[in-house]
Amino acid sequence: MDHKMIAKQFLITGMVWAIIGGLMSVLFRFQLGYPEAEFHWMKDLLGKWVNDKGQITAESYYSLVTIHGTVLVFFVLTAGLSGTFANLLIPLQVGARDMASPMLNMLSYWFFLAASLVMLSSIFVETGPFSGGWTAYPPLSALASAQPGSGVGMDLWLIAMALFVVSSLLGGLNYIATILNMRTKGMSMTRMPLTIWALFFTAILGVLSFPVLLSGFILLIFDRNFGTSFYLSDIFIATNNVGALPNEGGNAVLYQHLFWFLGHPEVYIIILPAMGMVSEVMAVNSRKPIFGYMAMIGSLFAITVLAFLVWAHHMFVTGLNPFLGSIFVLLTLLIAVPSAIKVFNWLTTIWRGSIRFTPGMLFAIGFVSLFISGGLTGIWLGNSALDIHLHDTYFVIAHFHIVMGVAGMFGMFCGIYHWYPKMYGRYMNNTMGYIHFWVTMIGAYLIFWPMHYEGLAGMPRRYYDYSQWESFKQFIELNKFISLVAMIVFAVQLLFLFNFFYSIFKGRRVRSQNPWGATTLEWTTPINPGHGNWVGEIPEVHRWAYDYGKDGQEFIPQTTPVGANETNHH
């Protein structure tokens, strides 16, 4: 029940899912890059997922993209990221022996594990897992006969997601309660490291938006199983000989509202913890205080509020009232302001710092680069007029993979490399870390940057085979190239995995209590902290978390009392 143990459980489970989800993307990139090729060995490996010609079938292609999206967004970048670092860092950095409720915390992990097992089992059922996209729009999600994966596959998908929502809620409750109630003496809110602030806002977002998704799912379950017409209208499904459904007046757009009311906050649930860790790691490794601490908190707050007010930018082409649309355009573009503040502050923090380019720091810098690139394309998409052209094209794929997918993973890598010494008492290997960083960084841009051009040329997302269209023939070679790079980048992640597990047993031992020379409380615990984190009293805090390079001292831990002649800061 120890919070550090639960953190590791979240991390390992998340990593398993990252491998599965990543492998899935390699498979569907095979299809996109080499639609004509015949990989007979795949038939032997994957059985019914591959047709006799040695190509992934259309059904399995859709299953792959659906489960890839679902598990990476929810299981890896939500549970794997927040679950790991909230559990690890909140008690250690606010100065608590454990979470407010270790019991709820453990339940949160078990619910996540149950969700994982159910989702995993859906991959192996006869009719295949759900295949209607990670957003699970009706009717594909509501009508069991719509596609092979819409039957049992979708039932299992919904059960897994419901369990996942419960897990997130239990976790979130606990994180908030711990941050507000369990801080050590002297740790006022404005002395907390930005990691904690970010995890705090993340938990608020989750606790207030996941229940709405649950509402949406409940209505969906009733449409699927109890003949209601919330989303299903009297559509006609000729191919499956279902004929006209007896339902009346259902409204599929209603589902989209409920889904995106979570869906948009969800993307910030993913990115905020990454932002928090990046802020912390950048300050530590630049040996400079974070620039604009209060502005960083303010912008986190602004992002949290705005995140609830922009969901309809995913629905500009659903027939949304154009006037309403223009309000959502305004609110969406407003997010650029706090985002820009954060970017400015990160750049100013490293500006003229004596930077230590550890792997963790490199991933932090990479994160900022990706966040800038992906944020700029967000501004394109946020214009409802431009979005008519760009919606559901590869431009959107490029946007969100850069700004959320890859950036979120970078935040996670940044956290893992930096706090690995605290988790396992050893260092990860640096050389492997550098190779991992550079290949992933360059590879990610090579994969996703060209997708902007494909999207601008109108290439739609979620198609099985583009080679049938004259207008997309120009991209045949490009798609091959993207697939090739994707495989290389995947291979490098295996190097990371090797490094991670190898270092647990064989990594260089940590010899000093505070290896990075950081100010925060987790580095005042023993090198391998036991249950309860501190031997004896929990230390008292006397200053904020960012006294680097102050009054000629390299760093001053939060536990050092403010000296008589010291220039006052916080």
Q: Which residues bind Cu ion (CB under 5 A)?
A: 264
Structure tokens of 378?
């967000």
Q: Stretches 85-93, 151-159, 331-339, 438-446: which one binds ligand HEM (CB under 6 A)?
A: 331-339
Angle, helix 152-181 to helix 84-94, in steps of 10 degrees: 10
Give the one entry of ligand HEM, Cu ion, another protein, none that residue 339 binds, where binding means its C-beta sits below a cut-off of 5 to 8 angstroms depending on kind: ligand HEM
CB of residue 266 vs Cu ion: minimum separation in angstroms?
9
CB of residue 374 vs ligand HEM: minimum separation in angstroms?
6
Cβ count near 163 (within 10 Å):
20
Q: Is the peptide bond before 139 cis (omega within 30 degrees of 0)?
A: yes
The reply to whether 322 sits near another protein by the rule CB under 8 A is no
Give the one entry of ligand HEM, another protein, Cu ion, none that residue 188 binds, where binding means its C-beta sits below a cut-off of 5 to 8 angstroms depending on kind: another protein
Concatenated DSSP letters for 178-208? HHHH-PPTT--GGGS-HHHHHHHHHHHHHHH
Q: Stretches 142-150, 264-272, 422-430, 498-506: which one binds ligand HEM (CB under 6 A)?
A: 264-272
Among 24, 404, 428, 441, binds ligand HEM (CB under 6 A): 404
- Beta carbon nearer to Cu ion, 404 or 432: 404
Structure tokens of 271?
């990115």
Q: Provide the strand spans (E) within 47-105.
A: none
Q: Is the peptide bond before 211 cis (omega within 30 degrees of 0)?
A: no
410/438 Cα distance (integer angstroms): 12
The reply to whether 323 sits near another protein by the rule CB under 8 A is no
CB of residue 566 vs Cu ion: minimum separation in angstroms?
45
- How do beta strands 236-237 and 243-244 pair? antiparallel
CB of residue 390 vs ligand HEM: minimum separation in angstroms?
6
CB of residue 377 vs ligand HEM: minimum separation in angstroms?
8
3-state secondary structure of 133: coil
CB of residue 186 vs Cu ion: minimum separation in angstroms?
39
3-state secondary structure of 50: strand
The reply to whether 452 sits near ligand HEM by the rule CB under 6 A is no
Give the one entry of ligand HEM, another protein, Cu ion, none that residue 158 binds, where binding means its C-beta sits below a cut-off of 5 to 8 angstroms depending on kind: none
Any alpha helices (H) in 457-533, and if so which ranges?
476-506
Cβ count near 424 (within 10 Å):
18
- Beta carbon nearer to another protein, 76 or 161: 161
Backbone torsions φ then ψ of 355, nearest 5 degrees: -75, 135
Among 84, 332, 358, 440, binds ligand HEM (CB under 6 A): 332
The reply to whether 382 sits near ligand HEM by the rule CB under 6 A is yes
Backbone torsions φ then ψ of 460, nearest 5 degrees: -75, 155
Q: Stretches 385-393, 449-457, 497-505, 536-544: which one binds ligand HEM (CB under 6 A)?
A: 385-393
> Cα 189 from chain centroid?
26
CB of residue 256 vs another protein: minimum separation in angstroms?
11
Q: Stretches 113-121, 241-249, 425-433, 471-479: which one binds another protein (CB under 8 A)?
A: 241-249
Give the one entry of ligand HEM, Cu ion, another protein, none that residue 456 binds, where binding means its C-beta sits below a cut-off of 5 to 8 angstroms depending on kind: none
Q: How many residues bind ligand HEM (CB under 6 A)?
A: 23
Among 267, 364, 368, 538, binds ligand HEM (CB under 6 A): 267
563/558 Cα distance (integer angstroms): 12
CB of residue 539 vs another protein: minimum separation in angstroms?
13
Concatenated DSSP letters for 528-556? S--TTSSSSSPPP--S-S--EEETTEEE-
Residue 472: which residues within 8 A CB-CB, separation 6 or more? 454, 457, 459, 466
- Give the footprint of another protein on residues 91-120 (CB under 8 A): 100-101, 104
183/176 Cα distance (integer angstroms): 11
Cβ count near 283 (within 10 Å):
28
Per the listing, tokens 């006294």 go with 547
387/382 Cα distance (integer angstroms): 7
The reply to whether 208 sits near another protein by the rule CB under 8 A is yes
Per the listing, tokens 């699927």 go with 224
- Give the footprint of ligand HEM on residues 80-119 (CB under 6 A): none
409/18 Cα distance (integer angstroms): 10
Binding mask 251-270 for another protein (x = CB under 8 A): x--x--xx--x---------
The reply to whether 135 sits near another protein by the rule CB under 8 A is no
- Give the footprint of ligand HEM on residues 134-163 (CB under 6 A): 135
Question: Are residues 547 and 569 in contact, defined by beta-carbon separation less than 8 angstroms?
Answer: yes
The reply to whether 396 sits near ligand HEM by the rule CB under 6 A is yes
CB of residue 68 vs ligand HEM: minimum separation in angstroms?
12
The reply to whether 379 sits near ligand HEM by the rule CB under 6 A is yes
The reply to whether 218 sits near another protein by the rule CB under 8 A is yes
- Beta carbon nearer to ligand HEM, 69 or 151: 69
Q: Stretches 46-54, 169-177, 296-304, 460-468: which one binds another protein (CB under 8 A)?
A: 169-177
Amino acid at 543: R
Amino acid at 497: L
307/295 Cα distance (integer angstroms): 18
Neighbour-count burial of 24, counting CB atoms closer than 10 A to its CB (0-12 exposed, 13-18 middle, 19+ buried): buried
| Positions in the binding site for ligand HEM (CB under 6 A) | 135, 267, 270-271, 313-314, 332, 335-336, 339, 375, 378-379, 381-382, 387, 390-391, 396, 399-400, 403-404
| Positions in the binding site for another protein (CB under 8 A) | 100-101, 104, 169, 172-174, 176-178, 180-188, 207-212, 214-216, 218-219, 222, 226-230, 246-251, 254, 257-258, 261
